[in-house]
Structure 1
Amino acid sequence: MKKIFTFCLFFLTGIIAKAQDTEEYIAAHVEYAQGLMHDHKIPASVILAVAIHESAAGNSKIAQHLNNHFGVKGPNNNAEIHSSYRDYLNADESYSHFVEMMETREPFNNLFGKYDQYDYKGWIYGIRHCGYASSRSWSSQVIGLIKKYELYQYDERPEGYEEPVYAIPVRRHTRSRRTTKTYTVKPGDNLNIIAKKKRTTVKKLMQKNGIKKANLKPGQKIKF
């Protein structure tokens, strides 16, 4: 019984510690993220949330070994791990490079003219739409982090600021409608000829058209 209790306590402590790690990560990087926001007008909440998501709050291998907090690919000189991700001198350099990519690379640089430093949703949707992430759920996950840890408080929104409303993209599962096509029988045609022309079988033609005998008449409509 004592062992079970100890295990449960250890398990719960691990969960709490993990949540505290994220809070500690935010505390360690929020000042630098806000400095980037002041200089470049991209929300600090966006910078922090993307970093948290891409680096598992600094716990990923590429964050630990390469100081890469944004999943940026490129060459590295690290001998400890084999990775296709680039390395940085420190976390601040990784943060600065992310903002630099947003400013200098198309189509990301177009986002600065569309969204202000307070509109974190617009920025996240825009970054996703520009191809930063392939996952359809990326935007909702990053926005979820901003809301969970109230990262928008670091964006220094003016009093009375109203968030723009964005429609959440909905994936609709639609069944493809199969249109029935017909072929007009010509003199000399038979089911074998028509089946070859339409890349089907005689059996399927007979079933689809309710034909019991293979006798066809010119002008007759055959479904395929």
Structure 2
Amino acid sequence: MKNIFTFCLLLLSVITTKAQDTEDYIAEHVEVAQELMRDHKIPASIILAVAIHESAAGNSRIAQHLNNHFGVKGPNNNADIRSAYRDYESDEESYNHFVELMETRAPFNGLFGKYDQYDYKGWARGIQRSGYAQSRTWASQVIAMVDKYDLYQYDERPEDYVAPVYKAPVYHRKKRSTSRIYIVKAGDNLGAIAKKKGTTVKTLMKKNGMKRANLKPGQRIKF
């Protein structure tokens, strides 16, 4: 019982430390995020949330060694770590470069005319749709980060601001084709194939768009 209690305390300590690390990260970088928001009209909450998500609140290897907080790939002249990710002189340079990418690269630059500087949900989904991340849940994870740490409080929203309402995205799995394929062999005929597959010649011809029952070796027949 004592061992279980000790384990629970240790687990709680780890969780609390991680939360404190994220809070410390926010406190350390909120000013640069807000300054970029005021100058470039991209929500500070989005800048912070993307940085937290991509750098594990500054704990990732590329954040620690390359000052790369946004998972941006590019030239790396760092002697300590070989990586496809770009290295920066400072955290602030990484933050500035992220916003620069949003402003200068299509289709990201189209987001500035579509979303205002307070619409963090629109920005998150727009950045994902523009190809920033391959994961379908990336935007949802970034939005959850904003909500968890109340990052929208740094967006300096007007008191009368009404946030747009977005429907949650719905992903549909592709339906697998129910058709099966038979490869015609020498000597085959449509009647024999139909009998073997438990169907009729008429059904096979209709399903395969055939006007005649003639077959040739290698032909693919749906059944």
TM-score bracket for this pair, using the shorter chain length: 0.7 to 0.9
- 1:206 aligned onto 2:196: yes
Deviations 1:68-108 (A, max 9, x none): 00000012122222211010011000000000000000010
In structure 2, how many angstroms separate the alpha carbons of the residues matched to 1:127 and 1:81? 28
| Mapped partners of 2:125, 2:50: distance in 1 | 12
- TM-score between both structures, scaled by the size of structure 2: 0.81
Three-state SS of the structure 1 residue aligned to 2:112 is: helix
CA distance in 1, matches of 2:96, 2:15: 31
Q: Which residue pairs with 1:184 in the alignment?
A: none
Q: What residue is the counterpart of 2:74 in the other structure?
A: 74
Q: Distance between the aligned counterparts of 1:204 and 1:3, measured in 2? A: 69
CA separation of 1:30 and 1:175: change in aligned 2, threshold 3 A: same
Report the identity percentage.
64
Match of 2:9 in 1: 9
8 Å CA contact retained: 1:208, 1:223: no
Query: Structure 1 residues 192, 141: closer, same or farther in 2, change over 3 A?
Result: same
The one-letter amino acid of 1:65's match is H
Could you tell me which runs of 5 or more consecutive residues in structure 2 were left unpaired when the two chains were aligned. 181-185, 202-210, 214-220
Q: 1:98 to 1:219 in 2, by over 3 A?
A: closer
Counterpart-to-counterpart distance in 1, 2:146 and 2:222: 57
Q: Which residue of 2 aligns with 1:130?
A: 130
CA-atom RMSD in angstroms: 2.9
Q: Quick check: 1:29–1:48 contact (8 Å CA) kept in 2?
A: yes
Task: Give the match for residue 46 of structure 1.
Answer: 46
Distance 2:212 2:57 in 1: 72
Distance 1:223 1:43 in 2: 54
Structure with larger Rg: 1
Runs ≥4 residues deviating over 6 A: none
Separation (CA, whole Å) in 1 of partners of 2:198 and 2:3: 69
Q: Provide the C-alpha distance between the structure 1 equivalents of 2:222 and 2:80, rounded to a whole number of angstroms.
A: 65
Contact 2:65–2:81 (Cα < 8 Å) also in 1: yes
Is contact 1:209-1:223 (8 Å) kept?
no
Alignment-derived partner of residue 89 in structure 1: 89
2: CA distance between counterparts of 1:223 and 1:44? Answer: 56
**How far apart, in 2, do the equivalents of 1:132 and 1:108 lie?**
9
